[in-house]
Structure 1
């Protein structure tokens, strides 16, 4: 049974999520403030964290910073702070996805399952025709799910890895944002470009020498993205 840590100070919302996800065969543990959430995380093992941003004692962004110092566990932000700035802020600190309140439990469950599935693919070995790809300064080990840049390991989130793998293993293909979303998130695309933009920016900050002038993942304006040629 997959375990979820829900960090949410609204008891009524926590009860609804706990009840629904339990029926979906998840084990859900509750924390009602950031400090309690950190304590539970440090003493238990989880497959995903559901995190509200507006928390007492330790806010969601500071909570996320602490988590990212220790783990790449998928984190799904649930918050009433709905706006492009807040979304980018949350994702920029290492969240894997964002869902704004109010949301349907069907949508939340789908996002939870997709995030765990991506993380599982990221941590498991996967057979591939080419197990190691050498592209300029990057060494991309598909089987062992690792990336080196000039011999130094890069720490990618599961979503960043899936994006990098998508482009590196399809070097001649141009991907639209809809195709990227369907391939990486395994969900229907509802024109939520912000999520893709933020994840792409974070990935470029890690793999590119100059993220403002990317060489590995090129932008084709008005079309999508394509793996660079070296």
Structure 2
């Protein structure tokens, strides 16, 4: 049974999230403060983390940053603020997803399910013999889920890796933000989700491009979307 840590100070929201996730078959722990959350994290590596940005004692962004330093498990941020700045800050410190309150509990469960399954599948691939993916100076070692730029290993989040692998597997094909979210995140595209894709593309470019402001690996096809390489 996959385990989830919810970090949320609003009791009614925490209980709603917990109830829906437990019905879906997950083991759920709730922390109402940042300090309590960090104590739980020090004793257990959960399969997924759901973090509210606004907590009484700590910034949820800082909690996300601290957790990301110790694990590559999926992290979802929750906030009542529909701020692009908060979304970008969340992704910059390693979050994999961002949901704005109020949200559908059923959609939250669906996102959790996809992220845990994708993480498990990526780990399973380490035991299977796969070819590497390569384009220019970028190489993906699919056996061990590692990315190299000029033979230097780069650290990517789960979703950054999934996005890069998908684009490399479909070199030359242009995908819109909506299509990438539907395929890679396995969800229905919204305004929030297209921002999610754009931020992940930006972070990928910062990690793999020689000059992120003039990308030569992940190209922007204006008015259409993104691609890697020519058809």
Which whole-Å deviations, capped at 9, do the CAs of 1:53-91 have from their partners, x for residues lacking one?
111222201111111211111110111122222222222
1:74 is aligned to 2:46: no
Give, in whole Å, the separation in 2 of the partners of 1:87 and 1:29: 24
User: Is there any run of 5+ residues in structure 2 with no aligned partner, and where?
Assistant: none
Q: Match for residue 96 of structure 2?
A: 96
Q: What is the deviation of 1:39?
A: 1.3
Q: Match for residue 3 of structure 1?
A: 3
The structure-2 alpha-carbon separation of the partners of 1:96 and 1:218, relative to structure 1 and needing over 3 Å to count, comes to same
Q: Do the aligned residues in 2 keep the contact of 1:133 with 1:141 (CA within 8 Å)? A: yes
Count of aligned pairs between the two proteins: 229
Q: Match for residue 201 of structure 1?
A: 202
Q: Do the aligned residues in 2 keep the contact of 1:118 with 1:159 (CA within 8 Å)? A: no
Matched residue of 1:166: which SS? helix
Q: What is the deviation of 1:48?
A: 0.3
The structure-2 alpha-carbon separation of the partners of 1:119 and 1:7, relative to structure 1 and needing over 3 Å to count, comes to same
Q: What is the deviation of 1:92?
A: 2.0
Instruction: List aligned pairs for 1:1-230, cutoff 5 A.
Output: 1-125=1-125, 131-191=131-191, 192-228=193-229
Structure-2-length-normalised TM-score: 0.93
User: Is there any run of 5+ residues in structure 1 with no aligned partner, and where?
Assistant: none
Matched residue of 1:159: which SS? helix
Which whole-Å deviations, capped at 9, do the CAs of 1:122-155 have from their partners, x for residues lacking one?
3221799961133222221123211111222111
Matched residue of 1:174: which SS? coil
Matched residue of 2:9: which SS? coil
The structure-2 alpha-carbon separation of the partners of 1:37 and 1:167, relative to structure 1 and needing over 3 Å to count, comes to same
Q: Do the aligned residues in 2 keep the contact of 1:72 with 1:158 (CA within 8 Å)? A: yes
Matched residue of 2:188: which SS? coil
Q: Do the aligned residues in 2 keep the contact of 1:124 with 1:145 (CA within 8 Å)? A: no
Give, in whole Å, the separation in 2 of the partners of 1:59 and 1:76: 14
Give, in whole Å, the separation in 1 of the partners of 2:3 and 2:129: 33
